[in-house]
Each structure stands twice: as C-alpha cells, then as structure tokens.
Amino acid sequence: MSGQGRTTTRRRGLRQWLLLTVVLLVALAAIPAASSPRSSEHYVALGDSRAAGPSTLRFLNDGCGRTAASYPRLIEEWLQPEFFNFAACSGARVEHILDNPQESRSGDARPLQVDAVTDETTLITISIGGNDVRWYDIARACFTKEEGADRECRNDPETRLAAMESLRPLRPRLDRLLGTLQERAPKAKIFLASHGGTVGDHGCFPVVPTSDEDAQFIAEYQDTMNEIIRAAARYAGVTYVDLAKASVGHDACQPQGVKWYEGNVTTSTSLTMHPNNTGNRAFAKLFEDEIKREFRKRVR
C-alpha cells in the first residue's frame, strides 16, 4: 500500500474513532446523575405558614400568603417538576389538610389540601403542627412588656400544664395524616419538616421579649414538639427534615443575615415569629439535600 493510501486509512480510522467518542459522550450525558432531580416528578407542597412563606408586603389572592420566597417555590425552581401543586396555607392545621376546608384571609373556603394529592404524586413536602399545638400562645405567655423583666412562665403551673396539654394531640394527628397520604399516594416520597427553632437559649428585647430562663423554657417546648414530629416520621417510614438542628445559632435573636427567623418584632418583610427569606433559602437547601439522597436510593 502506498504512503498516501496508508494516510487515507489512518484518517478514516481517526474519523470513525471521533464519531464513536461523540456518540458515547452524548449517550452518557443523557443518563441522569444519581443525585439529580427528575423532571417527571409530581410535587405537592402541604402545610401551614412555614411552608407558605407569607410576607408583610402582600398575600396572594387566595389569602394563604404563599410567596415566591417560600421553600416549596425554591424547591420547585431547583427541581423543575413536571407537575407542582402548592396547597399549603397560612394558619393551617392537620384538620385543614384532611377534614375541614380552611377559611383563608380573603374569606374564601380553601379546598382540603389532601385533594391535591393523587396516586400520580411522587413527592410531598409538609410543614405542619405549630397551629395544632398553638405554640405561639405558649411562647407569648412568657413575653414581657419591659426590658429586663422576667415573667417566670417556666415556673407557672398553668403555663407548664398548657404546654404539656397542647402537645398531647399532635402525635395521633400526624400519624393519621401520614397514613392517609401514604394511602392516597403510594408512589410518593414524603418529607416531613420539624417545626424549627425560632427561639434560642436567650431572650433579646423586644424581638424575643423574655428572660434567658424563659427563653430556654420556650426552646425546650420547641424541642419536645420537634421530637414528636420526628417520632411520627420514623413510625410512618417517611423522611424527617431536621430544620431544628440546623437552626441552632440562627434563632430570632441573631443578627440580620444570620438569623433564619423573625421574632415578636420583625426586622424584614417576613411575618413576626416566622422564618425569614434567609431561613426559607436554608430550609429549601435542607429539603433538596434529603431529596437528592432519596434519588440516589432509587438508582441503586
């Protein structure tokens, strides 16, 4: 074979090798990474104001306070699901998900949140429980009107009894909620969030207007609530998203940009005693990390 013929053969072989390489790279790119979200997800977000992300600027037309800054909207932006239903509504209790239509701030009766869940649903996030236990009423019993004052709610038998009694119905309500969701959406991965950690181990008038000792009482109450939520998630076999543990050092008494919650006086456009936009972004990231772990399990 002449030198020219050998050169032509080598060039033809190089072109074939390059073509095969391109085909392989395209094929590999088409295979989703184990930790990547799937665009075919049918995502439903349930819950109360901690999911809705209400703002002092405005509520949506339905009166539920659902905003673009909420963690479900941020998850949707990251996940880009095929289907998304944002059913959460400020003020919701478990009964508003399962049993009784909720009257929104606009005066309209909201459909049951569970109606958004079908057998096609593949992903559910939930924040619920704070309104069921009336946690703000317990916290407010510790608030003072003057800086440096101490209500000593931690030592008040009525407040301690009210705190204990408020938590009693939470576990059976969560058990029924999670069981119902599993029946309605057998293919769905369910992610249940803890209540979080609005109050830390000290007060800061007027944002958290309590003594340090009473702030610790409120924090312990939050911890007990979070443990009940964790136990319900474990019993049902759903994923518990531990916002509370991650919130340590981000309570309402921390500086702007560090704190994830507003206190009894808000320093942002977020409502008092609610997560702010920094917190919503942090919560979305915590949910996303847990969702990615579940995606990895699917491909094993």
- Helical (H) or strand (E) element with 287: helix 277-298
Q: Is the pLDDT of residue 31 over 50?
A: no
- Cβ atoms of residues 131 and 91 within 8 Å: yes
pLDDT tens-digit map of 46-92: 999 999 999 887 665 568 999 999 999 999 999 999 999 999 999 99
Percent over 70 (pLDDT), the chain:
84
Q: Is the pLDDT of residue 225 over 70?
A: yes
**At 39, is the pLDDT very low, low, confident or very high (cuts 50, 70, 90)?**
low
Instruction: Round to the nearest angstrom and report the end-to-end CA distance of the chain.
Output: 52
**At 103, is the pLDDT very low, low, confident or very high (cuts 50, 70, 90)?**
confident
Q: Given this model, what pLDDT does residue 121 score?
A: 98
49 counts as catalytic = yes
**At 294, is the pLDDT very low, low, confident or very high (cuts 50, 70, 90)?**
confident
The mean pLDDT value for 199-219 works out to 97
**At 109, is the pLDDT very low, low, confident or very high (cuts 50, 70, 90)?**
confident
Single out the catalytic residue among 35, 42, 49, 166. Answer: 49
Q: Given this model, what pLDDT does residue 143 score?
A: 98
Instruction: Give 3-state DSSP helix, strand, coil % of the chain, rounded to 5.
Output: 45, 10, 45
CA distance to 92, 109, 229, per residue, from 100 (Å):
10, 9, 22
Q: Given this model, what pLDDT does residue 12 score?
A: 53
Single out the catalytic residue among 42, 96, 250, 274. Answer: 274
Number of H helices, E strands in the chain: 11, 5
> How far is the C-alpha of 194 from the C-alpha of 126, rounded, in Å?
9
pLDDT tens-digit map of 124-176: 999 999 999 999 999 999 999 999 999 999 999 999 999 999 999 999 999 99
> How far is the C-alpha of 78 from the C-alpha of 288, rounded, in Å?
8
**At 23, is the pLDDT very low, low, confident or very high (cuts 50, 70, 90)?**
very low
Question: Which position has the higher pLDDT, 196 or 162?
Answer: 162
195 counts as catalytic = no
**At 1, is the pLDDT very low, low, confident or very high (cuts 50, 70, 90)?**
low
Q: Is the pLDDT of residue 30 over 50?
A: no
Architecture category of domain 38-298 in CATH? 3-Layer(aba) Sandwich (3.40)
pTM: 0.85
